[in-house]
Amino acid sequence: MKKYTIVLMLFLCITSLQAQDHIVFQQMSFDEAKTKAKSENKLIFLDGYTSWCAPCKWMEGNVFNQKEVAGLFNTNFINTKFDCEVGEGIEIAKKYGIHSFPTYLFLDAEGTLVYRTQSRMEVDKFLTEGKRALDKDYHIPAIMSRFRAGERNPLFLLRYITVMSNVDPKEAQGARNAIDALADDSFLKSAMGWEAIKQLGQSGNDRYGQFFLANKAFFKTSVPADEFQQKEQHLLRYAMYGYIRTKDKAEFDKGIAFFEQGDSDMQVEAAMYRVEWTATNGTDQDFVQLTNKLRKGILKDQPEKLSFIARRNSGKSAKGREVSKNLLNQSYVLAKQAVNLDESSYSYQGTLAEICITLNKKKEAVKAAKAARALAESETSKIIRLADALLERAQQL
């Protein structure tokens, strides 16, 4: 009996420790969650997901299982999950207008929406969202009341845009119009103007992005260096695809030089831009030569990038044109290298299988499709169905 008690205590201790490394989602009805939230004076964190949602599963395996995330959410929220296509989750999705997945709701004990966010995000971003949900300055009912009462302080307007963009874009646009009216040159060169540029400057075509690009010398000496670099990179990333579309080689080369002078991640990014340029504006021979150089060089240990290039350039209408045999063969080489680097990825195996089917390489197509089907068991029901169909097509060659 004593031995059994010790084993049970050890099991409970281990379970408790594991729980602290993952958000503990409590199995209860929505009404039970509200009752518990009221008794513990906490907000409800509700994860709205579906069984087929890949980003939902990614969050489970990469964010919800991080110690700092678990600590914040297990301490401050009643954590619940509802499949928005099953049972009570269907009514919750209707009530709160959940149309994309994952969607995260933060609710009070009465079920009133306090804060809302959505989509796949990295740990730091998710932690920021959780902390905002605890900050009354970000609570939806309060900020809506303040906005409707006429508050137009720039800091408040930026916060209102942040919150309401995930709740009601029309409401967010009202605040955007208000801050646009304040954004003259003098304002944009102020500390608050910089906050507006950081948040609202999405491309070189909008007011905030244009002003930054036209006044880079000023901002380089007046704002934190890391913030300046982040905004510069953000706008250039957007611009690079424009240069590719318009075949602006001079500006494209300037952008490439900028990224190649950065760290290893930026150099990989430069390589991917080169591939995109060549695939769009170059010849098949150019594409083969470049990707051979990259797969033996900077991308040799980058299975995700290799598989992406293969997938993007092997479809029936890649780049709006029929894919040549040369492009298909090179995509096969890239996809196979990705699988050799990492056999445990459903995406890599699936990409290789698709290309082998197109090239009528039955033996390899079936092998890769079987591997993809096995890996799909840990994915969503939708991906399992896709894997089944992929294997069937391979076997029918």
The answer to whether 332 touches 346, Cβ cutoff 8 Å, is no
In-domain check, residue 157: no
On the question of a cis peptide bond just before residue 102, with omega within 30 degrees of 0, the verdict is: yes
pLDDT over 90 at 383, yes or no: no
Q: Does the predicted TM-score (pTM) go above 0.95?
A: no
Tens-digit pLDDT profile for residues 198-243? 999 999 999 999 999 999 999 999 999 999 999 999 999 999 999 9
Domain count, the chain: 1
* Percent of the chain residues past pLDDT 90, beyond the cut: 88
CATH number at residue 13: 3.40.30.10
Mean pLDDT taken over the chain: 93
pLDDT band at 365 (very low <50, low <70, confident <90, very high): very high
In-domain check, residue 177: no
- Of 250, 176, 168, whose CA–CA distance to 206 is shortest? 176
Quick one: pLDDT at residue 21?
Answer: 87
pLDDT band at 54 (very low <50, low <70, confident <90, very high): confident
Mean pLDDT value of segment 350-371? 97
In-domain check, residue 100: yes
In-domain check, residue 348: no
In-domain check, residue 197: no
The answer to whether 345 touches 303, Cβ cutoff 8 Å, is yes
Tens-digit pLDDT profile for residues 301-340? 999 999 999 999 997 545 555 789 999 999 999 999 999 9
Tokens matching residue 204: 């070189």
Give residue 122's domain range. 2-134
In-domain check, residue 25: yes
Q: To which H or E segment does residue 115 belong? A: strand 113-118
Taking residue 178's Cβ as centre, other Cβ atoms within 10 Å add up to 17
In-domain check, residue 86: yes
pLDDT band at 45 (very low <50, low <70, confident <90, very high): very high
pLDDT over 80 at 18, yes or no: no
